[in-house]
Structure 1
Amino acid sequence: MQGFRLTARLRRTALALGLGLSAATASAQTFCVFDVLGTQGSFYSAMREYWTAARPWSTATLELKPYLSEEQAVQDFQSGACDMVSTTGIRARDYNLFTTSIEAIGAVTSDSQMKTVIEALARPDAAKYMTVNSVEVAGILPLGGVYMFLNDRAINSIDKIKGKRIAVLAHDLVQLRMADRLGFQPRAADIDSFAAMFNKGEADIVVAPALAYMPMQLFQGVGNRGLVLKMPIAYLSLQVLMHADKFPAGFGQKSRAYFAGQFDTLMKPVRAAEQEILYFLPAPDGEYDHYQAFLREARLGMTEEGIYDKRMMTILKKIRCKERPDRAECTDGKE
């Protein structure tokens, strides 16, 4: 009889432990982290620190899962295998056009402007724009400016750029439209092949952030004859998305505020990467304004097409004009 009671007690204990483990598993959220360098990358490292910071916000436990393939990470988020995912603004467009429109061509022209917009989107009064179809933007991280890498510095004006071959991501509607509007000859590529296409001379131009310069060996394509145009044509972001129903109320707001507070820290590897670019040269005299006018024309057209969110375009114009009220666009009534 005593043995029976002991066995029954053990069974109850085992059952309680099993239920406890099930509850623990159920309360764990999978955070699928995309970083081209995997667990050795700076953004995966940033997410580790985020994991530590987020622990007091909820009884749930974040489990980080590294991804080298952004496409796979987003697919797993879409299927529900990931409760949270970090992905570039390019792929986040399908979830929130408002937040991803900060990457519009020529819409952000400096690091300080990017910091201002990320801080603005982290405020509680912007929360109503952060959730679309139960997917919430839980953070925006800066990836820095996007630059034109050229294999020949003789391509030094808007007129000379027209007709040149450019490697574009086939899944990015913005790049395809940009190539069309700016008169490039687009060469379809993906994240794994666009750099090789440029480095092998199969494309004259590639558009990329400074962070890609060393890892993707873009210096090979630039060579001694080319240059990187020191004029950002857009600013990229990494956006953290989450299935809102998998997290407690208020988690997303705390998360956005956390990432906004990390802006300067997150920009350190970006600025270090820009320092590594050998031929990082400004546009020739008189060409800067031509480039800006051309980029704006393309942005206005794509906004009318619905590729960019008009509300965000208005916000970004206000930020640009606050920094430089002498800009001609500040009095023309557009955007």
Structure 2
Amino acid sequence: MKKIICMLILGFVTTTSWAGAQTWCVFDPLGTQGDISRRLQDIRLYALQHKTQLKFDTFKDEKDAIQAFDQHKCSGLVASNFHTYRYNHFMGSTSGIGLISNNRVARMLLQLLTNPNVEKRMLDQNYEVLGMIPIGTAYMIMNTQQISKVSQLKNKTIGILENNPPQLALVQSVSAKPVYVDFATAVDSFKQKKIDILAAPAYGVLPYNLKKEFGESTQVVNFPVAYFAINIVIRPQAYPNGFGHQIRTWFVKNSNVLAAQAMQWENHLPAYYWADISGYEKQGYEALVAKIRNRYVDSGYYDAYFVELIKRLRCLDDPKSLECRR
């Protein structure tokens, strides 16, 4: 009799240790066969080992994924760091202009996701960030003549995201003309010559023959503007205690693989597309970006702790950069 009771208790504990299947609304412009969706399958298997079942509802338009999440049709959201800013300013700041400078710095950030000082900033009463899938540095892609000086950006049309004041301020600071785009329309706007310059990661244009489809003068300026990544946000109340930490542990363990994939995408962009600007112009642009970035740190738009942390990581990566010189 005791044996039967123990078996019943064990069965109850085992059953209740499993969370009900949770659905994540996923933005993947390539659908269920895209790189983001494939990476999520790895996370799904890892979560399964920790007694949590995940299901994915995939959207090719990011607005639809966010809307479904806000309507509580799913307990998790997988979307860009630009548009998950509203749920967590710390990890939303990963999209900040002039902050994460390359994939190496992104990798170092991933390695810190279980650090207590970092981890506590990824959780509040309503939302929790589980991790970040690196996509790569956003560069200026131009279908106009080569621009070697910041002053040559004057009167050029530049695509920016709505509700992103720092991007607007940066464009206005170089006397260019902002044109609002979203991830669903940005490439088409560029292709149709509605904008002269598009900021995008190499991953976003790899499917295209740039010179054939966008024009012979198309080039990618080898200077980082911002960093593009996919953040995973959940409503923690729907998950077992410790679930967020477990998934962040997965990101720490896989930080090298995740960053290496983003590096590979950038390396796949043929060398003849890249355009370099002089060291002098780079310094001038860095100073301009830093000035605008600091304005939005002071206003509280960018998370101050994140900015300081990333500055330290950037200086570890490149001690000779302008901001790291003593």
**TM-score greater than 0.5 by the shorter chain:** yes
Task: Among all aligned residue pairs of Structure 1 and Structure 2, give the percentage whose two residues are the same amino acid.
Answer: 27
Candidates 68, 88, 97, aligned match of 1:96: 88
Which residue pairs with 1:175 in the alignment? Answer: 167
Deviates more, 1:245-254 or 1:302-311: 302-311
| TM-superposition CA deviations, 1:33-63 (whole Å, max 9, x none) | 21100111011001011101111212x3211
2:191 aligned with 1:208: no
Which residue pairs with 1:3 in the alignment? Answer: none
Alignment partner of 1:29: what SS? strand
Q: Give the drift of 1:67.
A: 1.5
Q: Is the 8 A contact 1:201 1:221 kept in 2?
A: no
Candidates 270, 280, 285, aligned match of 1:286: 280
2:107 aligned with 1:115: yes
Which residue pairs with 1:158 in the alignment? Answer: 150
Q: Is the 8 A contact 1:37 1:68 kept in 2?
A: yes
The residue type paired with residue 273 of structure 1 is W
Q: Give the drift of 1:88.
A: 0.5
**Distance (Å, rounded) in 1 between the aligned partners of 2:201 and 2:234:** 25
Candidates 214, 221, 236, aligned match of 2:228: 236
Q: For the structure 1 residues 71 and 217, does the alpha-carbon distance in structure 2 shift closer, same or farther, using more than 3 Å as the test?
A: farther
Q: Is the 8 A contact 1:140 1:260 kept in 2?
A: no
Q: Is the 8 A contact 2:24 2:55 kept in 1?
A: yes
Q: Give the drift of 1:307.
A: 2.0
Which residue pairs with 1:41 in the alignment? Answer: 34
Candidates 50, 53, 60, aligned match of 1:61: 53
Which residue pairs with 1:73 in the alignment? Answer: 65
Which residue pairs with 1:315 in the alignment? Answer: 309
2:307 aligned with 1:325: no
Q: For the structure 1 residues 33 and 219, does the alpha-carbon distance in structure 2 shift closer, same or farther, using more than 3 Å as the test?
A: farther
Deviates more, 1:76-85 or 1:41-50: 76-85
**Distance (Å, rounded) in 1 between the aligned partners of 2:141 and 2:95:** 18
**Structure 2 unaligned runs (5+)?**
1-15
**Distance (Å, rounded) in 1 between the aligned partners of 2:188 and 2:61:** 17
Number of aligned residue pairs: give it. 309
Q: Is the 8 A contact 1:150 1:222 kept in 2?
A: no
2:271 aligned with 1:263: no
**Distance (Å, rounded) in 2 between the aligned partners of 1:116 and 1:271:** 14
2:295 aligned with 1:301: yes
| TM-superposition CA deviations, 1:174-220 (whole Å, max 9, x none) | 32232223322011222222212211222111101111113466555
Q: Is the 8 A contact 2:146 2:219 kept in 1?
A: no
Which residue pairs with 2:11 in the alignment? Answer: none
Candidates 135, 141, 144, aligned match of 2:133: 141
Alignment partner of 1:28: what SS? strand
Which residue pairs with 1:249 in the alignment? Answer: 241
**Distance (Å, rounded) in 2 between the aligned partners of 1:194 and 1:219:** 17
Which residue pairs with 1:191 in the alignment? Answer: 183
**Distance (Å, rounded) in 1 between the aligned partners of 2:34 and 2:165:** 27
Q: Give the drift of 1:24.
A: 12
Deviates more, 1:176-185 or 1:24-33: 24-33
Runs of 4+ in 1 over 6 A off after TM superposition: 23-26
CA-atom RMSD, angstroms?
2.3
Q: Is the 8 A contact 1:182 1:298 kept in 2?
A: no
Q: Give the drift of 1:276.
A: 2.4
The residue type paired with residue 231 of structure 2 is Q
2:20 aligned with 1:27: yes
Q: Give the drift of 1:269.
A: 4.4
Q: Give the drift of 1:321.
A: 2.0
Q: For the structure 1 residues 132 and 68, does the alpha-carbon distance in structure 2 shift closer, same or farther, using more than 3 Å as the test?
A: same
Q: Is the 8 A contact 2:210 2:218 kept in 1?
A: no
**Distance (Å, rounded) in 2 between the aligned partners of 1:100 and 1:75:** 18
Deviates more, 1:311-320 or 1:189-198: 189-198
The residue type paired with residue 99 of structure 2 is A
**Distance (Å, rounded) in 2 between the aligned partners of 1:49 and 1:116:** 21
2:34 aligned with 1:51: no
The residue type paired with residue 290 of structure 2 is R
Q: Give the drift of 1:26.
A: 7.8
Q: For the structure 1 residues 216 and 160, does the alpha-carbon distance in structure 2 shift closer, same or farther, using more than 3 Å as the test?
A: same
Q: Give the drift of 1:261.
A: 2.4
Q: Is the 8 A contact 1:149 1:222 kept in 2?
A: no
